Each structure stands twice: as structure tokens, then as C-alpha cells.
């Protein structure tokens, strides 16, 4: 196969990759691979570099890290051995390989590749400012992943400087780089700087005929106001939604994002009914633009279900959670929210077997993530124990409370509220299980009350004191009962002042 044919195949493969037509791309890649021998001799060297670079891009698209990295290294290796002059193909190889390493969290390797590319660009006195800009922007993206934000800001500003030498201010790469800067400032909690970035973009694009872009910028500004001024956040997002709804062509994806922002805003303000309305509106829109099991659809189901629980609309909560959990196979983390919430609902319905199945599935997932020693694990053990109490199975509840307390005592920082009330419930079990241990019950009541008192919440302390006083009224502890009764009286007098 001659060079002309290879270049033609390369062009076809790039087109197929651009169109995401992997079925068409595969046989072309196989033909190119058959022509690769990895040898650099004479005129063959540039052809072999081109083949390797093209195959690297193909396998990157195929998510085959090993082969993509192999061909990237081969292209660079051949060029280095033959001391080839820098070409746009070699620049593309370095950038794509660095992107690959970033994608697979090989940040040190990505940095080395980009640093080498910068040296080559400077040494060859490369005149394409765009190449410098892309390199600095990618360096910034790598730095963003491991949170070296000050360096990221500097690199993005350098990238902007190079891009501005070659393109107009309304070029997409300028918008994208300024948006990267915005996100970096948000992560640094430099919200005013982030706001200024987006307000500048709004000025650049305010005269555009395409109203979608100003609308998306307004959404971004609304996101930033979310951190600093909720009133302005609502006003700006509402303005963006009005603009989106005025478009001739619907922009449901962006509308769904606006409704999600308004939902989160109302949720933070504890205005749950209105938050539910916005989440439902967003869910309807997301269903029209994403596949059924897309993460954002699952997320909306989770939010609607759990917020219905907060307002005690358990029938509606159950409906959304049961629908949503069917979509969570590829989203194990958010699946856990469904499991725990459904466990609570089934428990409330006294469907204890269903509740137990949900709770155990939740515990299994925590164990898979090596989070057995966690507050979430202990909380779930408590929920299971409470189910057994509801079924008058005190001995079984006793075992789960013991296990929960053992974890609470090890997790730092100690959660005195949960540890305290779990201990009081364990004391109840000591008092009521088949083989009663009243002295042990007394010890755990006192221990639990002591932990709750450390929370410094008068209502919680009052509840804990009432529990131990009730216990003393059932049993003969004449010296201890007055002590806790006096504490309760003092607390109630302090609350009444």
C-alpha cells in the first residue's frame, strides 16, 4: 500500500471517528494496522508515525488504554529516533496521549508529555499560537484534577493569551477556556472572580443572533450566585429559563438544568413542596433528551422520592423510589440512597421483610466499598434493630444495637447523638430481652444519657433524661432517680426562661 492510499485511509478513519461510526471505523483501522511495522527507514518514517498516531486515536476512542498508549509511544519513539522535525501530527500525538493519561489519572505522565511538547514547540520556534494554547489548557486540566488551582489559573491565562493572538473573542475556544477559569475560581471559592468571568462572556455574546449561548451563560451566573446570593440566583436562573423558552427550537437539556438549579435552591431553603415541583419538571425534560438509565434521570427520581419523604408524603415517595431503583444498575452509589430510603418506607408500612432486604443490600454495598467502619453502616444497623423492636424481637434487636455501638465508638469524630440514643435503646434491650440484665441496662442508660448531654441540645437531652427516669420508675434505684429528675427540672426551667 503506497503513501497516498495510507493517507486516504487515515482521512476515512478520522471522518468515521468524528461521526462516531465505530462500525465503519473498525475495518479501516484493521487495514492501517496491517501496514504498521514500527520500523523507521527513509521515507517510511513519516508514514509509520502517521499510522501509529491514527491508530492511537482510534483505540483511544475505543477505550482501549493499552493499545492507544502503545501506538502513541511508538509514534513519539520513531520521531525521536529519526530526529524528525516537529509536525502537526506529532503535536496531535502528544496532546492526545496526554489526554489519555489524564483520563486514566496518570497525571505525572501527562505533565511530562506536555512539558516535552512545550520544549519542542519552543525549540522549533513553532509559529502556531493555537498549539501553545491547547498545550497550556491541557496542562491546566491536568492540574485541575489534582487541585493545584493557583497553577491552573496561571496556565489558563497563558492559554487565553495564545488563543487571542490567533482567533476573535467570540471563538468557541475562548468561551471554553474562560469557562474553565470560571470553574477553577468556583473550586477556589473565589466567587466574585468567577462571576466577573461569566459577566464578561455575557457582554461578548449579548449581540449574538443565537440566544442559546446567552441563556447558558445566565444559567452559569445563576450557579455562581447560588453560593453568594440566593435571591439573585433565583432571578438569574428564571431569566435564563424565560430566554430558553422563547427560542424557536426547544433546548430541553438546558431547561432541565435551570429547573434543577431552582429545585436545589428551594431544597436548601427547606421549601420542599416547591423543590419537588421543579425536580418533577426537570425529570420530564430529562426523559426527553436522555436514555432511561441516564444518571441525571436517576438523580431526579432520588430527589423527588426523598423530598416526598421529608414532607411525609410516603405514598408518592414510594412510587418514585420504586420506579427509580429499577434504573440504578449502573449507578451503585446513588442506588444506595434508594435502598436506604425504601428500607425506611417499608419499615413504616410494617413490611419488615422488604425493609430488611433493602437494608442488607445497602450494607452489602458499603462492604464492597470497604466502608463497614462508617457512620452509615452503624445507622443502618440501628434501623434494622428498630425493625426488630417493632416486631417484639428484642433479642435480635439487641445484637444489632451492640454491633452499631461498636462502630459508633470507633468512627471519628464520634457522633454523640447517635451513640447516645443507640446506647439508650441497647439499655432497653437489656431490660426486656429473654434473659434480663437490669444492672447492665442501668449502665447503658447512664452511658447513653451522658453522650446525649454532650450534644448540648436541650430537646435531645430532655428526651434522654425522660427515658432513664422512666427506667428508674420501673425499677428500684432510689439514689439515682432523684439525680436525673433534678437535671430534668433544671433543664425545663432553663427552657421556660
> What sign does the CA torsion over 381, 382, 388, 392 have?
positive
Which stretches of 409-480 are DSSP H helices? 416-432, 438-453, 458-474
The maximal CA–CA distance of the chain, rounded, in angstroms, is 102
Which pLDDT score, from 0 to 100, does residue 434 have?
Answer: 95
- pTM, to two decimals: 0.81
| pLDDT tens track for 165-223 | 999 999 999 999 999 999 999 999 999 999 999 999 999 998 777 889 999 999 999 99
Asked if residue 259 lies in contact with residue 281, where contact means CB atoms within 8 angstroms, the answer is yes
Instruction: Show the cell assigned to 77.
Output: 519513539
Task: List the domains of the chain with CATH numbers.
Answer: 372-497 (1.25.40.10)
Could you tell me if residue 84 is left (phi over 0), alpha (psi between -120 and 50 degrees) or otherwise beta?
A: beta
Q: Is the pLDDT of residue 41 over 60?
A: no
Asked if residue 467 lies in contact with residue 445, where contact means CB atoms within 8 angstroms, the answer is yes
Q: Is the pLDDT of residue 497 over 70?
A: no
Distance CA 29, CA 21 (A): 12
Distance CA 247, CA 178 (A): 25
| pLDDT tens track for 4-17 | 888 899 899 999 99
Which pLDDT score, from 0 to 100, does residue 103 have?
Answer: 92
Mean pLDDT of the residues in the chain? 93
Distance CA 200, CA 195 (A): 9
Which pLDDT score, from 0 to 100, does residue 86 have?
Answer: 83
| pLDDT tens track for 346-401 | 999 999 999 999 999 999 999 999 999 999 999 999 999 999 999 999 999 999 99
The CA R_g of the chain, rounded to the nearest whole Å, is 31
Which pLDDT score, from 0 to 100, does residue 45 have?
Answer: 55
3 band by pLDDT with thresholds 50, 70 and 90: confident
Q: For residue 20, give the 3-state DSSP assignment.
A: coil
Site of grid cell 496518570: 106
Which pLDDT score, from 0 to 100, does residue 40 have?
Answer: 54
**CA distances for 436 relative to 180, 395, 425, 427, 440, angstroms:** 64, 10, 14, 10, 9
- Cα angle 476, 465, 447 (rounded to 5 degrees) comes to 80
Asked if residue 53 lies in contact with residue 89, where contact means CB atoms within 8 angstroms, the answer is yes
81 band by pLDDT with thresholds 50, 70 and 90: confident
Chain CA centroid to CA 197, Å: 24
Q: Which burial class, exposed, middle or buried, applies to 54 when counting CB atoms under 10 A from its CB (0-12, 13-18, 19+)?
A: buried
Amino acid at each position: 500500500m503506497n503513501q497516498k492510499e495510507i493517507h486516504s485511509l487515515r482521512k476515512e478513519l478520522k471522518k468515521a471517528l468524528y461521526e462516531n461510526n465505530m462500525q465503519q471505523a473498525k475495518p479501516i483501522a484493521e487495514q492501517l494496522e496491517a501496514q504498521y511495522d514500527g520500523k523507521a527507514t527513509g521515507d517510511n518514517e513519516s508514514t509509520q508515525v502517521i499510522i501509529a498516531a491514527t491508530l492511537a486515536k482510534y483505540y483511544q476512542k475505543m477505550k482501549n488504554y493499552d493499545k492507544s498508549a502503545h501506538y502513541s509511544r511508538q509514534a513519539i519513539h520513531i520521531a525521536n529516533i529519526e530526529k524528525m522535525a516537529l509536525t502537526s501530527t506529532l503535536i496531535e500525538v502528544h496532546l492526545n496521549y496526554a489526554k489519555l493519561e489524564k483520563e486514566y489519572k496518570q497525571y505525572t505522565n501527562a505533565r511530562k508529555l506536555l512539558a516535552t511538547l512545550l520544549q519542542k514547540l519552543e525549540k522549533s520556534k513553532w509559529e502556531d499560537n493555537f498549539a501553545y494554547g491547547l498545550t497550556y489548557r491541557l496542562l491546566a486540566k491536568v492540574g485541575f484534577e489534582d487541585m493545584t488551582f493557583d497553577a491552573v489559573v496561571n496556565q489558563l491565562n497563558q492559554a487565553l493569551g495564545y488563543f487571542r493572538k490567533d482567533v476573535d473573542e467570540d471563538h468557541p475556544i475562548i468561551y471554553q477556556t474562560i469557562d474553565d477559569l470560571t470553574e477553577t475560581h468556583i473550586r477556589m471559592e473565589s466567587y466574585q472572580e468567577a462571576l466577573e468571568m461569566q459577566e464578561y462572556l455575557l457582554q461578548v455574546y449579548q449581540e449574538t443572533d443565537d440566544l442559546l449561548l446567552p441563556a447558558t451563560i445566565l444559567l452559569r451566573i445563576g450557579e455562581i450566585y447560588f453560593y453568594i446570593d440566593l435571591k439573585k440566583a433565583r432571578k438569574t436562573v428564571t431569566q435564563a429559563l424565560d430566554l430558553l423558552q422563547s427560542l424557536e427550537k426547544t433546548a430541553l437539556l438546558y431547561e432541565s438544568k435551570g429547573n434543577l438549579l431552582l429545585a436545589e435552591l428551594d431544597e436548601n431553603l427547606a421549601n420542599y413542596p416547591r423543590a419537588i415541583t421543579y425536580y418533577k419538571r426537570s425529570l420530564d425534560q430529562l426523559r426527553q433528551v436522555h436514555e432511561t438509565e441516564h444518571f441525571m434521570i436517576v438523580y431526579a427520581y432520588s430527589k423527588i422520592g426523598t423530598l416526598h419523604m421529608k414532607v411525609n408524603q410516603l405514598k408518592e415517595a414510594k412510587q418514585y423510589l420504586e420506579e427509580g431503583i429499577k434504573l440504578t444498575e449502573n449507578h451503585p452509589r446513588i442506588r444506595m440512597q434508594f435502598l436506604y430510603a425504601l428500607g425506611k418506607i417499608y419499615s413504616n408500612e410494617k413490611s419488615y421483610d422488604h425493609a430488611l432486604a433493602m437494608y442488607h443490600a445497602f450494607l452489602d454495598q458499603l462492604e464492597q466499598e470497604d466502608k463497614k467502619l462508617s457512620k452509615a453502616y452503624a445507622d443502618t444497623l440501628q434501623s434494622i434493630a428498630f425493625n426488630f423492636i417493632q416486631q417484639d424481637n428484642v433479642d435480635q434487636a439487641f445484637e444489632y444495637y451492640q454491633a452499631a455501638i461498636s462502630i459508633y465508638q470507633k468512627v471519628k469524630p464520634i457522633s454523640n447523638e447517635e451513640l447516645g440514643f443507640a446506647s439508650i435503646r441497647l439499655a432497653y434491650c437489656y431490660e426486656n430481652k429473654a434473659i434480663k440484665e437490669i444492672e447492665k441496662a442501668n449502665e447503658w442508660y447512664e452511658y447513653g444519657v451522658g453522650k446525649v448531654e454532650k450534644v448540648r441540645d436541650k430537646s435531645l437531652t430532655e428526651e434522654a433524661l425522660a427515658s432513664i427516669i422512666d427506667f428508674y420508675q420501673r425499677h428500684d434505684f432510689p439514689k439515682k432517680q432523684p439525680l436525673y429528675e433534678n437535671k430534668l427540672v433544671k433543664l425545663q426551667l432553663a427552657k421556660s426562661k
